[in-house]
Amino acid sequence: MITPDRIVPTTCPYCGVGCNLELHIKDDFVYKVTSPFDAVVNHGNLCVKGRFGYDFVYNKDRITTPLIRKTAQEPGARTQAFDRDQWHEASWDEALDYAAGRLVEIYRRDGADAMAVYCCAKATNEDNYLLQKLFRALFRSNNVDHCTRLCHAGSVVALQMAIGSSAMSNTAAEVIHSDVFLVTGSNTAETHPIIALQMKAAVANHGAKLIVVDPRRVEMVNWAALWLPEKPGTDVPLFSAMAHVIIKEELYNRDFIERRAEGFAEFVKSMEKFTPAYAESISGVDRNLIVEAARMYATAKNAAIYWALGIPEHSHGTDNAMSLIHLALLTGHIGRQGTGLNPLRGQNNVQGASDSGAMPWHYPGYQRVDDETAARKFEHAWNSEPGSLNRRLGLTTTEIMSAVGPGGVRALHLMGENPMMSEPNLNHTRHKMEQLEFLVAQDLFINESDAYADVFLPAASWAEKEGTFTNTDRRVQRVRKALEPRGQSRADWQIICDLAQRIEKKLSRPQTAFWAYQSPAEVLEEMGRLVPEYAGVKYSRIEKEGLQTPVWDDNHPGTPYLFAETFPSGKGKFHPLEYVPSVEMPDDEYPFILTTGRLLEHWHGGTLTRHSKLDELYPEARIEINPADAARLRIEDGQPVRVSSRRGSIVLRAWVTQRATVGVVFIPMHFVEAAANLLTLDTLDPLAKIPEYKACAVRVVPATKDQLARPEGKVQRGRY
Ligand code: SF4
């Protein structure tokens, strides 16, 4: 029995559930993670990542000294730097001076459009607020984005268009107050395991009925009253057919629509063609199941909708999310406990990074950069001359990458993100990374993207710094420093402030008072003065439990569910929809639809989990393929297969499983040795600019063990 020197309460660094952790520390070493039974988010429960996935902090591959690439790289001829002799270890002064000098040189020569930054959904609110402030206030660039673009951008745009707010409307734990809840595009048991526990309790202990709509037989299907196994990319006809049934059978909430929605008459006309039979012909889902699901959802006292990336990650992701929003507006299942529109956020702080302004079209608090009043407000707050902040919308992540090259983006700053794993069509991304003139990387490890960097700034881990994360249901929670930063690594907020002060000096813009924060608490207070929803969030108020935004002032108790009386846009708006097929449909050459996603044991590009003991639990990629498809192709369980799309090819083992439906295969996104995004499409949703990760056409053929053992080096894991 070990007696800890101290137990430090903090928040999980992985998924958006935001579980409350206790780090048990002996001799400056975390030897155990637990959670208190009275933890407001997770009541003592943790998944495998939260309980065991913390040892990346001590991994031997972690970089704890600033590095500078020895030989300057020519744009177009850049390579990844993996060997020690390609870098030299530098002091912080040397590395920061070098980074600031090159960034300013490029800005002076090519202007704001040449500068871009990827902020980070793993970093704190304070880190993200400061990095977007640096690029906006000093480089006048709105080319500021992060991985929300690659996950829920379609949901955000649709929700903003329909009701004027993109946050999850209700608290996840309220699911026990739902009579019916619909889960779609979400493998909740693996991606949000603690919310899945609450959902299972709602079914088992409270009699709630679950409707799952998903192309895969995910674990939640075992708990479902109805499973609608749709083909990928057919959400609009399926959910519009549910709307059609609700309208035809007059199950809609006439009073709610009259009081709180507009555009109903036009919407009703647009839904006429979406009969259950028409939806069946496109989605493959039995028309009777569609009718039953519509009746079940509409006639419930309280019904909720939960969705994840299977909805927005399409070239028509905004329409998909809109088709779900229509169901809530039709029935009035919103604005009460146990109801609502609930996009489950992926990473630990994707909600907070978005709130903090790590987006190209918005200042913190979703205030548009092209709105004159908002721009003047931030100019005043950031001591910038009137008219100096850029009023043009910036580029999104995938647009930033496409714009790299002469006359476009020349300098990129990556904080914790890894486009060489997360962007679609990675062969294209690699070509663009090679074209950069200057790359700053700020991270714990040299990941696949950081290996292209000119300067590497070693960051402290979440266990080594103070800050806040905002979880999927808008709860702002404390992150606490439990350990001293390893080696020379520093907290991201300190790195950014040090870099900003050097840039200001080189630009001859003496505003240093605005970077001389004494603590992250001061950063959050500045953000609270600019973002009304965070006005009442103070460190002193979230010592024990977080607060759910909006928190309008110092006495406001926070907001468990939204829209009780009205929407931020006033009335909710129906938007007539058309069905637009996915860009690539299966054909003779590429007969399968590939969908990609996450596993319980890993997280995103794998930078953290693949440097933890979780990697031993699930060490290699497998493609899920239905037994009928496998038998036809003479593929056995565990056999190597080659998967090819029009953009690339990978080799990995087959997992012959009923989790996959016939004609649909699934590959997890975490494994560099078989990087799923070598296959995916970079076609974007026209409104949200989110890529089509969830549907592209592929071919699957048997491969050899030799081909599996020698991946063709399309993407390489960073190392030093
Ligand atoms: Fe961490 Fe999410 Fe697991 Fe909770 S459910 S322990 S937040 S990874």
Ligand 1 nearest-atom number relative to CA 603: 8
Instruction: Specify whether 126 is located in the same domain as 162.
Output: no
pLDDT in tens, 356-391: 999 999 999 999 999 999 999 999 999 999 999 999
User: Which CATH number does the domain housing residue 425 bear?
Assistant: 3.40.50.740
305, 327, 344 - which closes a domain: 344
Report the CATH number at residue 14. 2.20.25.90
With DSSP H G I counted as helix, E B as strand and the rest as coil, what are the percentages for the chain, rounded to 5? Answer: 35, 20, 45
| CB of 12 closer than 6 angstroms to any ligand 1 atom | yes
Structure confidence at residue 168 (pLDDT): 95
Peptide bond into 586 cis (omega under 30): no
Q: Which of 192, 608, 612, 670 to mutate to test the pocket of ligand 1 (most atoms within 8 A of CB)?
A: 192
CA distances from 483 to 8, 479, 490, 504 (A): 9, 12, 12, 32
Nearest C-alpha to atom 6 of ligand 1 is from which residue? 50
pLDDT score for 35: 97
Q: Is the CB of 15 under 6 A from ligand 1?
A: yes
For residue 627, what pLDDT is reported?
98
Judge if the beta carbon of residue 594 lies within 6 A of ligand 1.
no
> If you measure from the C-alpha of residue 46 to the centroid of ligand 1, how many angstroms do you get, rounded to a whole number?
6
pLDDT of residue 442 exceeding 80: yes
Token readout for 535 is 């006005």
Strands (E), 135-293: 144-145, 180-184, 209-213, 226-228, 261-262
Whole-number pLDDT of residue 79 = 81
User: Is the C-beta atom of 333 inside 6 A of ligand 1?
Assistant: no
Q: What is the DSSP letter of 624?
A: E
Please identify, by atom number, the ligand 1 atom nearest to the C-alpha of residue 21.
6
> Relative to the CA of 192, which ligand 1 atom is closest?
5
Does any domain span residue 190? Answer: yes
pLDDT of residue 712 exceeding 60: no
At residue 242, the pLDDT reads: 98
> Is the CB–ligand 1 distance for residue 17 below 6 Å?
yes
Do the beta carbons of residue 298 and residue 252 sit within 8 Å? yes
328 half-sphere exposure, CB direction, 13 A CA radius: 28
Q: Which of 17, 37, 58 is the last residue of a domain?
A: 58
Name the residue range of residue 443's domain: 67-150+349-548
What's this model's pTM, rounded to 2 decimal places? 0.95
Report in angstroms the alpha-carbon separations of 680 from 71, 595, 666, 692: 33, 9, 12, 7
The half-sphere exposure of 529 on its side-chain side, counting CA atoms within 13 A, is 10
CA of 348 to the centre of ligand 1 (A): 8
Signed CA dihedral, 343, 344, 346, 352: sign only = positive
Give the model's pLDDT for residue 557.
Answer: 97
CA 516 – CA 588 distance, rounded (Å):
62
For ligand 1, say whether the CB of 13 is within 6 Å of any of its atoms: no
Q: Whose alpha carbon is nearest atom 2 of ligand 1? A: 15
Q: Report helix, strand or coil for 510.
A: coil
Query: What angle separates helix 492-506 from helix 125-133, to the nearest 10 degrees?
Result: 10
445 alpha carbon – ligand 1 mean position (Å): 22
Spacing, Cα 20 to ligand 1 middle (Å): 9
Same structural domain, 179 and 246: yes
pLDDT of residue 451: 92
How many C-beta atoms surround the C-beta of residue 472 within 10 A?
A: 28
- Is the shortest distance between the CB of 346 and ligand 1 below 6 Å? no
Judge whether residue 664 has pLDDT over 90. yes
**Which pLDDT tens digit goes with each residue over 431-440?**
999 999 999 9
For residues 307 and 196, state if they share a domain.
yes
Q: Is 19 in the pocket of ligand 1 (CB under 6 A)?
A: yes
**CATH number of domain containing 262:** 3.40.228.10
The token pair at 200 is: 């299972």
Residue 290 has pLDDT above 60, yes or no: yes
The answer on 451 and 538 residing in a single domain is yes
**CATH number (domain holding residue 611):** 2.40.40.20
Tell me: do 159 and 298 sit in the same domain.
Answer: yes
Specify whether 334 is located in the same domain as 421.
no
The residue nearest atom 4 of ligand 1, judged by CA position, is 19
Give a yes or no: residue 467 inside a domain: yes
Q: Is the pLDDT of residue 40 over 60?
A: yes
Say if residue 717's pLDDT is above 60: no
For residues 611-634, give the mean pLDDT: 96
Cβ atoms of 138 and 165 closer than 8 Å = no
Assigned domain for 719 exists: no
